């Protein structure tokens, strides 16, 4: 998806706001729909850089009244609850008529390792983790995600970088349809959680088995690897949106921008499902 059709994007956002019966102050010069459109454009084009996006929209006269950087930040922060409501509406759609899901996590750096001692956003050894796939250490957070076979994100949460992937069992709600199959890598190979998910939520956790697994289904690892591939594709798209750096001045703003990337990806995945929005 190379470009966004801003007019179509505005129409979709406006319809979501009407569905949620959202009311905005009639005195606003830039509508809430326009603010959210700008928010999505920032993450799609400029890795979450609000200033560049606002300057581009003003230059192209795409939006009649463009707010200043500081006013836009205050507006979008106030709209965080409604943005997340739209996200969860889309996630509910991604669950419909779907019984295959994937769970995994990916790392997000706050800074390069050489700058850890100068980091102002976070401090502490708990933020130091290891990216096993790249065989390197990083300083920041882990994003735990559940995705569906429709290509969308249905649930997410954050932990410090040092947290093991199995922590997801404690922080995720696993609000999935009954009798769903949840595929994962070997980090989630926890027998008692398999039993709990099956007995309490009727979810079939199907991790890739370790070689010393006591379970009898180790021979199906090739099938489980194949079924968890979609989440790796989603992570590739997300990390391309991140580019090189997420600019933030505090932990809260950093987490909010992480949510922005997830929201933007999910919104565009929703649009791609219906083959709209791209130009």
Question: Hey, which bits of the chain come out as E strands?
Answer: 100-111, 128-131, 136-148, 153-160, 181-184, 204-207
Mean pLDDT in residue range 248-271: 92
Asked if residue 126 and residue 31 are part of one domain, the reply reads: no
Query: Phi, psi at residue 105, to the nearest 5°?
Result: -135, 160
Same domain, yes or no: 38 and 113: no
Same domain, 123 and 214: yes
Per the prediction, the chain carries an average pLDDT of 89
Q: Are residues 120 and 213 in the same domain?
A: yes
Contact 32, 24 (CB under 8 A): yes
Q: Provide the 3-class DSSP secondary structure of residue 121.
A: coil
- Tell me which residue of 250, 252, 243 sits closest to 49, measured CA to CA: 243
Q: Are residues 98 and 43 in the same domain?
A: no
Last residue of a domain, one of 78, 107, 123: 78
Tokens of residue 110, six digits: 């706050």
Q: How far apart are the first and last CA of the chain?
A: 8
Q: Are residues 105 and 69 in the same domain?
A: no
In tens, the pLDDT along 70-79 reads 999 999 999 9
Q: What is the pLDDT of residue 111?
A: 87
Tokens of 122: 């976070």
Query: Which residue is listed with tokens 């690892």?
Result: 221
pLDDT-based confidence at residue 218 (cuts at 50, 70, 90): low
* 226 shares a domain with 150: yes
Model confidence at 216, pLDDT cuts 50, 70, 90, reads: low
Which pLDDT belongs to residue 113? 87
The residue segments making up the domain with residue 228 are 93-247
List C-alpha distances in Å: 144 to 57, 156, 165, 231: 33, 5, 8, 11
Q: How confident is the model at residue 264 (pLDDT cuts 50, 70, 90)?
A: very high
Nearest Cα neighbor of 174 from 102, 269, 82 is 102
Host H or E run for residue 89:
helix 80-95
Alpha-helical regions (H) of 96-176: 168-171
Mark whether 136 and 182 lie in a shared domain: yes
**Same domain (yes/no): 29, 116:** no
Q: Which of 214-218, 226-230, 244-248 has the lowest mean pLDDT?
A: 214-218
Per the structure, the count of domains in the chain is 2
Which pLDDT band holds residue 248 (cuts at 50, 70, 90)?
Answer: confident
Alpha-carbon span 35 to 66, nearest angstrom: 9
Look at residues 165, 168, 167 and name the one whose alpha carbon lies nearest to residue 155. Answer: 168
Residues 148 and 66 placed together within one structural domain of the fold = no
Classify 197 as helix, strand or coil: helix
Band (279; pLDDT cuts 50, 70, 90) = very low
Residue 35 shares a structural domain with residue 122: no
On the question of pLDDT at 219 being above 80, the answer is no
pLDDT at 181: 95
Contacts of 163 (CB under 8 A, 6+ apart): 129, 142
């Amino acid at each position: 998806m190379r470009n966004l059709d801003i007019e179509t994007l505005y129409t979709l956002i406006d319809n979501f706001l009407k569905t949620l019966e959202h009311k905005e102050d009639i005195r606003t010069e830039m509508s809430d729909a326009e603010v959210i459109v700008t928010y999505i454009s920032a993450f799609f084009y400029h890795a979450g850089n609000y200033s560049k996006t606002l300057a581009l929209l003003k230059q192209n006269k795409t939006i009649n009244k463009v707010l200043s950087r500081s006013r836009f930040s205050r507006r979008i922060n106030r709209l965080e609850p409604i943005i997340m409501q739209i996200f969860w509406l889309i996630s509910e759609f991604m669950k419909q008529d779907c019984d295959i899901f994937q769970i995994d996590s990916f790392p997000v750096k706050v800074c390069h390792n050489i700058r850890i001692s100068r980091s102002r956003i976070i401090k502490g050894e708990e933020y130091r983790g290891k990216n096993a796939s790249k065989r390197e250490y990083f300083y920041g957070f882990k994003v735990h995600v559940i995705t569906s076979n429709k290509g969308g994100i249905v649930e997410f949460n954050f932990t410090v970088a040092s947290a093991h992937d199995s922590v997801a069992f404690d922080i995720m709600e696993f609000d999935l349809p009954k009798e769903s199959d949840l595929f994962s890598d070997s980090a989630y190979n926890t027998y008692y959680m398999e039993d709990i998910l099956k007995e309490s939520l009727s979810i079939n956790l199907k991790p890739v088995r370790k070689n010393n697994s006591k379970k009898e289904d180790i021979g199906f690892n090739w099938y489980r690897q194949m079924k968890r591939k979609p989440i790796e594709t989603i992570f590739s798209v997300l990390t391309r949106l991140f580019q090189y750096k997420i600019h933030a001045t505090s932990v809260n703003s950093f987490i909010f921008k992480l949510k922005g990337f997830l929201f933007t990806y999910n919104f565009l995945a929703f649009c791609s499902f219906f083959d709209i929005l791209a130009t």
